[in-house]
Structure 1
């Protein structure tokens, strides 16, 4: 499993509209993509214009080739791109280790 992390900065005052658009795009476009597993969207407490989008994919290629190389990527971007203050910064991660128990 691969974790895609996108650091997103949006235009000021667009939080509610952005959140609605992102959820719509995730549920109607990305969720239908081959290899997609799940997502989380986190909103910064300190920076009201900053979000972190975390998506789980079966493989790196499911995201970088399958999704990004498909018409679905353009559809996703058409839903969310107008909110971006700058292009998102995206990286991919492998799991190194995790806690063995739920720690509170």
Structure 2
């Protein structure tokens, strides 16, 4: 299981519009092979900043499968115009839990 992390900086004033678009977009990624779950959280101190966490089975399911799919183009069209600057996406693996 891998965890993808993306800090999303949405253009201030477009938060409600982004959240509506994300509700549509999350169905796209949820239907992809290897998807487990996701959480989108908004920062309390800076409401235009979000944290997206996506759990998946394998790194390749995201980097090759999702990003190489036609569905990703729809995801991009729904969401990418909200970001300033464009987010950095990182992938993590669990090494310890409590």
Q: Which residue of 2 aligns with 1:102?
A: none
Alpha-carbon separation, structure 1, partners of 2:12 and 2:94: 33
Q: Map residues 34-53 of structure 1 onto 2, 5 A cutoff.
A: 34-53=33-52
Unaligned runs of 5+ in 2: none
Distance 2:85 2:77 in 1: 15
SS at match of 1:61: helix
Note the residue ranges of structure 1 that are not aligned, 5 or more in a row: 100-104
What SS does structure 2 have at the residue aligned with 1:19?
helix
Tell me what 2:3 maps to: 3
Q: Following the alignment from structure 1 to structure 2, what is the Cα–Cα distance between the partners of residues 22 and 88? A: 15
Larger Rg over CA atoms: 1
Which aligned runs of 4 or more in structure 1 are off by greater than 3 angstroms?
none
TM-score by length of 1: 0.90
Task: With the length of structure 2 as denominator, give the TM-score of the two structures.
Answer: 0.95
How many residue pairs match? The answer is: 98
CA RMSD of aligned residues (A): 0.8
Q: Any idea what the Cα deviations from partners look like across 1:29-60, whole Å, max 9, x if unmatched?
A: 11110100100001011112110100011000
Name the structure 1 match of 2:73: 74
